[in-house]
A and B are shown apart, each in its own frame.
Chain A
Amino acid sequence: MKARSADFWSGLALGGLGAYIIVVASRWEYLGPDGPGPGFFPLWYGIVMAVLSLMLMVSSVTSKDGSMIDWSGARSAFLTWGAFTLMVATLKLAGFVIGFGALTFFIVLVMYRKPLKVAAFTAIGLAAGFYVVFPLALGVQLP
Chain B
Amino acid sequence: MEVLTGLMHGFGVALQPLNLLWCFVGVVLGTVIGIMPGLGPPATIAMLLPLTFLMNPASAMIMLAGIYYGAKYGGSTTSILLNVPGESASVATCIDGYQMAKKGRAGAALGIAAIASFVAGTVGVVGLMLIAPPLARMSLAFSSPEYFALMALGLAMVVLLAGRSMVKALLATLVGLWLAGIGTDLFSQTSRFTFGQMELLSGIDFVVVAIGVFAVGEVLANMEQRQETPMIEVPKGLRNLLPTLQDLKDSRFAFVNGSVIGFLIGVLPGAGSTIASFISYGVEKAVSRHPEKFGHGAVEGVAAPEGANNSETGGALVPMLTLGIPGSGTTAVLLAALVLWGFKPGPLFISENPAMFWGLVASMYIGNVMLLILNLPLVPLFAQVLRAPVYVLYPLILGISVVGVFSTSGSLFDVWLLAGCGLLGYLMRKLDFPSAPLILGLVLGGAMERALRQSLMMSDGHLSILVSRPVSAVMLSLALLILLVPLFNKFNTWRLKALDS
Contacts and interface: CB of A to CB of B under 8 A. Distances in A.
Among B167, B181, B193, B223, chain A packs the most CB atoms within 10 A around the CB of B223
Contacts of B378: none
B247 interface: no
Given A24-B193, A45-B178, A122 B391 contact: yes
A108 B391 contact: yes
Contacts of A53: 171
Nearest to A118: B391
B174 A126 contact: no
Contact of A52 (B54, B167, B181): B167
Interface string A100-131: 10011001100110100000001000100010
B412 A143 contact: yes
A38 interface: yes
Contacts of B402: 87-88, 96, 100, 143
Nearest to B399: A100
B395 A114 contact: no
Contact of B174 (A52, A73, A92, A108): A52
Interface string B36-70: 00000000000000010010000000000000000
B220 interface: yes
B403 interface: yes
Query: What interface size band does chain B fall in?
Result: 35 or more
A142 B457 contact: no
B245 interface: no
A28 B190 contact: yes
Chain B facing A: main interface SS: helix
Interface in A58-78: 59, 69, 71-74, 76-77
Nearest to A79: B223
A91 B190 contact: no
B466 to A, nearest CB: 13
Nearest to A69: B430
Contact of A122 (B165, B190, B392, B432): B392
Contacts of B51: 138, 140
A80 to B, nearest CB: 5
B480 to A, nearest CB: 13
Contacts of A52: 167, 170-171, 174
A77 B221 contact: yes
A96 B391 contact: no
A130 B391 contact: no
A52 B454 CA distance: 27
A62 to B, nearest CB: 13
Nearest to B192: A38
A117 B94 CA distance: 38
A100 B395 contact: yes
B391 to A, nearest CB: 4
Q: In the complex, which of the residues A3, A35, A72, A114 has the most CB atoms of chain B within 10 Å of its own CB atom?
A: A35
A140 B419 contact: no
Nearest to A83: B398
Contact of B188 (A37, A72, A96): A37
Nearest to B226: A112
Given A88-B418, A103-B398, 19 more contacts: A36-B453, A36-B457, A41-B453, A52-B171, A53-B171, A56-B165, A73-B224, A73-B225, A76-B226, A80-B219, A84-B422, A88-B412, A100-B402, A126-B395, A138-B54, A140-B51, A140-B54, A142-B403, A143-B412
29 contacts: A6-B431, A14-B171, A24-B192, A29-B190, A35-B461, A42-B192, A52-B171, A53-B171, A69-B431, A72-B224, A73-B225, A74-B430, A76-B226, A77-B223, A81-B422, A88-B412, A88-B416, A96-B402, A100-B398, A103-B395, A103-B398, A122-B391, A122-B395, A126-B392, A134-B403, A141-B406, A141-B407, A143-B402, A143-B403
Interface of A: 3, 6-7, 10, 14, 17-18, 21, 24, 28-29, 31, 34-38, 40-42, 45-46, 48-49, 52-53, 55-56, 59, 69, 71-74, 76-77, 80-81, 84-85, 87-88, 91-92, 96, 100, 103-104, 107-108, 111-112, 114, 122, 126, 130, 134, 138, 140-143
